[in-house]
Copies of this chain bind each other. A is one copy, B any other.
Amino acid sequence: MKRRQFLKGASLGAGALAATAAAPAIASAQENLKWRMVMPWPKGTPGLGTNAEKFAAIVKEMSNGRLSISVYGAGELVPPFECMDAVEQGVVEMAHGTPYYWQGKNPVLNFFSTIPFGLTAWELTAWLRFGGGQQLWEEVYADFGVVPFYAGNSGMQAGGWFNKEIKSVDDLKGVKMRYAGLGGEAMRRIGANITMLPPGEILPAMQSGAIDAAEWVGPWNDLAFGLYQVAKYYYTPAFHEPGPGLEIFVSKEKFDSLSPDLQAIIRYAAQAIAENTWADFTFNNIESYQPLIDKGVEVRQFPDDVIMALADASKAAVEEIANQSETNKKIYDSYMDLVKKAARYGKEFEATGLLQRAKVWGY
């Protein structure tokens, strides 16, 4: 899920925000409500658009049609990066997205999506549901007049495609790469030459030599993009995206106007879809991995000194966000407290178990 992926799509929706602001008023009756949900990705986008539409379907099913949500893909009603503005301004009732798409409003929103060397998908739910993360998120989103609900995860992403092996930090210096978000910022700080490209331009840019490396999502989406055609080395996993979270957010005014049962239906439909979405990514990433390798891909991991250099650069970038305000610091402290405890637990439980299992099944 990369920010620039939607910039092309955005042009389709130019002016749409103004146009739809004049759309017919939404019925205010409790029964038979018709709401609209916008997204920064196209309808039908695997894992993302499909689960947003499933969310709308189960809300309708559970409410016996009393709350009907129409889903609009990138640019259909509003430009992709104006989804938050559209809900904030009351143009639509709700949106499906990922918090770091709105980081222009406050970079602390990265914590509710993902942070380099941060929480995994399962740990992110632990923080949100039981570690105070949800309350902190609501506090930040209150500034925009919206209520957030966690809505899933893409799982641990991939570290990207390189046309040479990376054996030291020096091998990254000057490399022209498409690398998103805080991961791109960390790469930049250790000497890489970061250029953001819309997804559709990654393949041709690699082919022409305009860039030497690129990261996209994971095996499912990377296989679909054909990135194995232009780079031999596939680095796993993404140091910068250990478990990017998705969200559904609703205008607070509109949410508060609902009866308690419809509020509960939105809340728990989002939680059900959260589980469904990550299961979807997990299943399809696992199923796509060997077929991707069979294309002649060489799987590699960044060596320890590269990881430590990326960690130092990432930590500095993240701390700069924390130091911007008291709220940001509070979120950073809460999140990092759990990351540091999870670091040891995750090594001695999940990582150890996964390595033992790999050996047992011949890997």
Contacts and interface: CB of A to CB of B under 8 A. Distances in A.
| Range class of the A interface residue count | 35 or more
A283 to B, nearest CB: 4
B156 A304 contact: no
Interface in A311-361: 311, 338-361
Interface centre among A219, A276, A338 (most CB of B within 10 A): A276
A220 to B, nearest CB: 11
Given A127-B283, A354-B354, 9 more contacts: A117-B361, A125-B279, A158-B349, A242-B357, A272-B272, A301-B356, A302-B356, A343-B363, A347-B357
Nearest to A315: B360
A72 B274 CA distance: 29
A189 to B, nearest CB: 15
A350 B120 contact: yes
A282 interface: yes
A280 B130 CA distance: 7
Interface string A148-174: 000000011010000000000000000
**Number of identical protomers:** 2
A342 to B, nearest CB: 5
A361 B345 contact: no
Interface string A250-284: 00000000011100110011011011101110111
Contacts of A237: 348-350, 352-353
Interface stretch (A7-15, A60-68, A193-201): A60-68
Contacts of A279: 122, 125-126, 128-130
A286 B64 CA distance: 40
A289 B341 contact: yes
A131 interface: yes
Nearest to A343: B361
A341 B131 contact: no
B130 A307 contact: no
B354 A347 contact: yes
A308 interface: yes
A124 to B, nearest CB: 9
A123 interface: yes
Contact of A307 (B239, B343, B354, B359): B359
Contacts of A362: 343
A287 B131 CA distance: 10
A350 B354 CA distance: 8
A293 to B, nearest CB: 8
Interface string A100-138: 000000000000000001001111011111110000000
A236 B349 contact: yes
